[in-house]
Structure 1
């Protein structure tokens, strides 16, 4: 292992290019904080990257954006650490569960995230005065031949373009690994329209990083982040560090035992799904894919079937198709909101007595009162807690054994 100190981005790219020309096999670590190193893997070319910053969040984001069908696979559900991501992708490729093109897209996105973070770190020398790197060799006999490889110079150029665009957008000091959180609700409401205010409350709840939000909404990271900049500068919205995900990425898949057809959470074919008469069916209506996964994981482990609905406009028709025994309903969603959907649900005779639980990032008395007015049966707050969900299931589904 060899250790050196980094002075500039040019110093680092020269090291990377030199390693590639030497047909280096091993990794280069950029260390800036304990357990928060950034790592580039080489096997002649650049074959992967890893980070101590949110490895599970990153893994989930990249799968959900590039190959969402993989999330249900037992291999993909393992909790990866650093190079573990590459090994999981290799297993999926060898089992023909992904194509080499899909693997390449995921790896390219991973590398570009890391290179972007490197540029941002090197642009803040006062924050990380001890910034340095080391590289370690691995015998080629100890690892498989690379299935995908990239030219370091090309990846560095693309990463630099992303960073320069971020700078031009006025975001140089804002890390996409931080989570926005509304700090001054009343002032934010005064300065914005009701729709913008509600959307900002939904997005900036302190649970998702900017990268998470971009993946969740399938939008460009810059386009997702830049509109919040004026409110960040006024300190109406703060930026907070968040821990990595601590739930197993286990997207439940439910089988219609009559037709043996898989029903994927969040992507239901309404005409084919038939609820089981054995276990209760719970519906989760939330535009957040991450929140849907979190709550559906808890529900599935409790012995229930679960469907999730991300589009508020499809909520009523999907509910009518499946007639769930219990409904979890997010309060804040784009365009529509939980109050309006709950009121519509209560106007349908078949749902007159179906429990509807409002889920929200807020915990105000006004929202609780309004929830009761539109007929909600209960109210829980985000981040979603297993004990609260189980308590609701036990109360409203008394025949369920928990």
Structure 2
């Protein structure tokens, strides 16, 4: 059983911004979050061709999770394979096929029920955040922190955090990651991202420069579909010596390192297989195991605007299980266009997004006559009185505090769409 998190006071402001210019400063900021018992979200942004973004989540100074735009599904699946292999149900990943796996929420429920050891869950969270922190350090070092790494501290009210979340010590994670990064540098791999996939470019030249067994292994593994991290888990090897062994062939251009897409996903709950992940603006629907009202289900279209792929997948999983049609919109610039195409009955809208925030998008939505009476619910980890007043001023119908949970989402739908509830009374 998970120990509940105690509520403690903090002097952190609602939002605080900072810029750092080296790795030592980065680690000090994370250590400060731990020592000052920060509860909230730490956003990292770096200006480079990819405009990379990462998030670390804290509760009373301990890490409870992370988010990254790079391979969130691959990353989670790797940690399941390492620390809870019985739940990594697809031992072989077929290219183009969705992978079924236990998501965080369903896994947490099994921990609470004693079906999954708490230590395994903690190891998954620690490994997950460790990979993300390594990527943050590498991105900063590769850019030489030229334009700075931008940090935003966003306080989350303690009572909005699920008390069942597993926590890990921030100090333990960052110390291990820093050691891993130093070893990676010393091995001459600083310019090689573990998120890239090796692919053979010159097979004949590679054959001539390797032993028959090594060549067979390389032709089997270096097919451009699995990242270096994926291969290390698959082979049960440490990623450093594995990467170091093929680095000479990379330097000779016999093997290339290429970017690969994230895995497609079908979330597997303890009771049923959940629907596939959504593409931006695409409606999908799936009946749940509950009794549905077929005469009303076609009109129950729910849109969710959020740049976070993880949160969008979670929202889609909850809504589709309940039988609603789901529209995922991850590009805020295209939000109005997609909304007009799909005409949802209710809109969930994240507050913190790049380019345009939730207030701006809500104001735009209300200026469109067809959406003037549609419920618009703003999601935020910052549920203060000022935010509520401002949300009302731009026409929001209500608030939903993060993190996203099934109970919160369905309760909101029952409140704002009572005549379109898909569940029939028994």
After superposition, the Cα gap between the structure-2 partners of 1:88 and 1:249, relative to the gap in structure 1 and judged at 3 Å, is closer
| Structure 1 runs not aligned, ≥5 long | 252-402
In 2, Cα distance between equivalents of 1:224 and 1:111: 22
- For 1:3-402, list aligned pairs within 5 A: 3-32=17-46, 36-44=52-60, 45-72=62-89, 77=100, 85=104, 87-126=105-144, 129=147, 131-145=149-163, 147-248=165-266
In 1, Cα distance between equivalents of 2:123 and 2:41: 21
**Secondary structure at 1:144's aligned position in 2?**
coil
In 2, Cα distance between equivalents of 1:38 and 1:194: 42
Whether contact under 8 Å (2:34, 2:171) holds in the other structure is: no
In 2, Cα distance between equivalents of 1:164 and 1:9: 11
In 2, Cα distance between equivalents of 1:88 and 1:169: 39
Number of residue pairs matched by the alignment: 245
**Secondary structure at 1:97's aligned position in 2?**
coil
**Secondary structure at 2:168's aligned position in 1?**
coil
Deviation for aligned residue 1:250? 6.1
Aligned-residue CA RMSD in angstroms? 2.6
Structure 2-normalised TM-score? 0.53
Deviation for aligned residue 1:7? 0.8
Deviations 1:168-218 (A, max 9, x none): 222111110000110111111121222211211111110000000011111
In 1, Cα distance between equivalents of 2:187 and 2:144: 22
Deviations 1:303-342 (A, max 9, x none): xxxxxxxxxxxxxxxxxxxxxxxxxxxxxxxxxxxxxxxx
**Secondary structure at 1:248's aligned position in 2?**
strand
In 1, Cα distance between equivalents of 2:63 and 2:112: 20
Deviations 1:103-139 (A, max 9, x none): 1111111122122212211211258735312121111
In 2, Cα distance between equivalents of 1:182 and 1:50: 31
